[in-house]
């Protein structure tokens, strides 16, 4: 009798263990991310938020990758093998790559339709990357809104203020740049010469694209030609400096105190802020435009996507909706601990976002960035974004060396059409 009772007790204990294990699995999600100083702290904060306020049994396993390319490679390998079982439930994915991956590997993804998210609380441009065939696939994480940061002390030496730069034309910018160079010896703009992001941001600020109906739009694109002419003029007048590569751009030029202005995605802020002696000397605003008025653009950014390997789809949708889908607590933590700026407009109204930042002359830079993000125009994108960026960058350098701009633009378009098989 006693043996039977012990056997029953053991069986009950075993059943309890299995039940607890099953419950744990039902409340667990896994995710790929790649930056221990940026998006990983944001995910850690989101997990704590969800556990504290929604599901006390929740667990998020964050699997660190060395870079975004590792995530892309993992999805590619899984899709080519027809086996998604090695993927996590969720992956962090770069905005400019996701449409290509959803179109190429449609079975690898699960849309987040049905998640309790107010999509109108996000900028239309940010959502456009993950909105594919009328369905939302991604929940935005980090804000790629472009900023124009200025050393206001150097502007003042040349007789200008940041108000003079807000909504100015590129013609006016060049005029100020020449004055700043004469007064301080500093460049008013810098860019990574190997990245060629400047052209794209300037075009988007005009509400224009280098693409039209899925094809390269270059030789007949008058806005693009004007933008390239402005860049050539700035280089010729020595108010724009191009770094040889990313390290030269960040370390030698920005941190090396060679410039009075930086225009890039807001993720450049930590690079700018890493020079203690410049504290209180920087402020930021929107971008110049060709004909005047504040310009808005984005450069970079990412979102979270549910993979085909996710067994707990309802849990994944609920987690994403109640954290990055609109939680001020998640985004406050992400900003304070990882520098991740929300794409959610209402989350940008929190007290944390309204605080002035000492390094930035007590300007409330984070609420300003979120506000600007809501104005970014949607422009046509392409899976060939980076290939065209390289071709146009080469056309620019050739023009500086004496080549004819129209001929270089035509050559870039011809090469792009050949690459695309058009």
> What is the CATH number for 119?
3.40.190.10
The pLDDT assigned to 20 comes to 44
Same-domain check for residues 81 and 135 = yes
Same-domain check for residues 44 and 135 = yes
- Residue 354 counted as domain residue: no
State how far the Cα of 175 lies from the Cα of 141, in Å rounded to an integer: 38
Same-domain check for residues 127 and 80 = yes
- Residue 5 counted as domain residue: no
- Residue 274 counted as domain residue: yes
Q: Residue 238's domain spans which residues?
A: 146-296+377-420
Same-domain check for residues 289 and 308 = no
Same-domain check for residues 412 and 270 = yes
The pLDDT assigned to 246 comes to 87
pTM > 0.75: yes
How many other C-beta atoms lie within 10 A of the C-beta of residue 25? 11
421: tokens are 């098989």
Same-domain check for residues 100 and 220 = no
Q: pLDDT digit of tens for each residue in the chain (422 aa)?
A: 555 544 554 445 444 444 444 555 799 999 999 988 888 999 999 999 999 999 999 999 999 998 888 999 999 999 999 999 999 999 999 998 899 899 999 999 999 999 999 999 999 999 999 999 999 999 999 889 999 999 999 999 999 999 999 999 999 999 999 999 999 999 999 998 877 789 999 999 999 999 999 999 999 999 999 999 999 999 999 999 999 988 899 999 999 999 999 999 998 998 899 999 999 999 999 999 999 999 999 998 899 999 999 999 999 999 999 999 999 999 999 999 988 999 999 999 999 999 999 999 999 999 999 999 999 999 998 888 889 999 999 999 999 999 999 999 999 999 999 999 99
83: tokens are 């086996």
Among 274, 329, 377, 199, residue whose Cα is nearest residue 37:
274
Same-domain check for residues 120 and 157 = no
- Residue 239 counted as domain residue: yes
The pLDDT assigned to 381 comes to 87
Same-domain check for residues 172 and 263 = yes
Same-domain check for residues 45 and 181 = no
Q: How far is CA 136 from the centre of its chain?
A: 18
State how far the Cα of 97 lies from the Cα of 104, in Å rounded to an integer: 11
Residues 173 and 288 sit within 8 Å (Cβ to Cβ)? yes
Same-domain check for residues 289 and 381 = yes
Same-domain check for residues 303 and 292 = no
Number of domains in the chain: 2
CA triplet 146, 148, 150: central angle to 5 degrees?
155
End position of a domain, from candidates 330, 349, 368: 349
At residue 211, the 3 state secondary structure works out as: strand
Same-domain check for residues 334 and 291 = no
State how far the Cα of 296 lies from the Cα of 416, in Å rounded to an integer: 27
């Amino acid at each position: 009798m006693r043996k039977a009772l012990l056997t029953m007790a053991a069986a009950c204990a075993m059943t309890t263990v299995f039940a607890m294990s099953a419950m744990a699995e039902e409340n667990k999600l896994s995710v790929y991310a790649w930056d221990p100083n940026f998006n990983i702290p944001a995910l850690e904060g989101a997990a704590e938020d969800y556990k504290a306020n929604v599901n006390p049994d929740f667990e998020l396993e964050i699997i660190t990758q060395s870079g975004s390319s590792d995530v892309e490679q993992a999805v590619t390998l899984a899709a080519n093998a027809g086996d998604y079982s090695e993927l996590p439930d969720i992956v962090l994915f770069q905005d400019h790559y996701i449409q290509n991956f959803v179109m190429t590997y449609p079975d690898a993804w699960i849309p987040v339709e049905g998640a309790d998210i107010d999509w109108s609380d996000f900028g239309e441009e940010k959502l456009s990357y993950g909105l594919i065939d009328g369905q939302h696939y991604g929940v935005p994480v980090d804000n790629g809104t472009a900023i124009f940061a200025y050393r206001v002390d150097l502007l003042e030496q040349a007789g200008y203020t940041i108000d003079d730069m807000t909504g100015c034309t590129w013609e006016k910018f060049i005029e100020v740049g020449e004055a700043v160079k004469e007064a301080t010896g500093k460049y008013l703009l810098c860019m990574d010469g190997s990245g060629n992001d400047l052209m794209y941001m300037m075009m988007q600020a005009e509400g224009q694209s280098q693409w039209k109906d899925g094809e390269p739009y270059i030789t007949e694109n008058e806005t693009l030609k004007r933008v390239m002419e402005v860049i050539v003029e700035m280089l010729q007048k020595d108010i724009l400096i191009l770094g040889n590569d990313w390290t030269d751009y960040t370390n030698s030029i920005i941190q090396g105190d060679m410039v009075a202005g930086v225009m890039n995605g807001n993720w450049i802020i930590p690079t700018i802020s890493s020079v203690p002696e410049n504290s209180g000397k920087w402020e930021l605003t929107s971008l110049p435009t060709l004909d005047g008025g504040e310009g808005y653009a984005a450069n970079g950014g990412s979102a979270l996507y549910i993979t085909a390997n996710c067994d707990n789809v309802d849990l994944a949708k609920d987690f994403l909706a109640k954290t990055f889908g609109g939680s001020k607590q998640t985004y406050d933590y992400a900003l304070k601990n990882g520098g991740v700026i929300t794409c959610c407009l209402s989350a940008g109204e929190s007290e944390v976002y309204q605080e002035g930042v000492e390094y930035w002359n007590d300007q409330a830079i984070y609420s300003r960035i979120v506000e600007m993000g809501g104005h970014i125009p949607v422009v046509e994108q392409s899976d060939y974004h980076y290939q065209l960026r390289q071709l146009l960058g080469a056309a620019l350098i050739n023009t500086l060396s004496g080549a004819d701009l129209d001929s270089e633009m035509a050559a870039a378009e011809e090469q792009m059409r050949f690459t695309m098989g058009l």
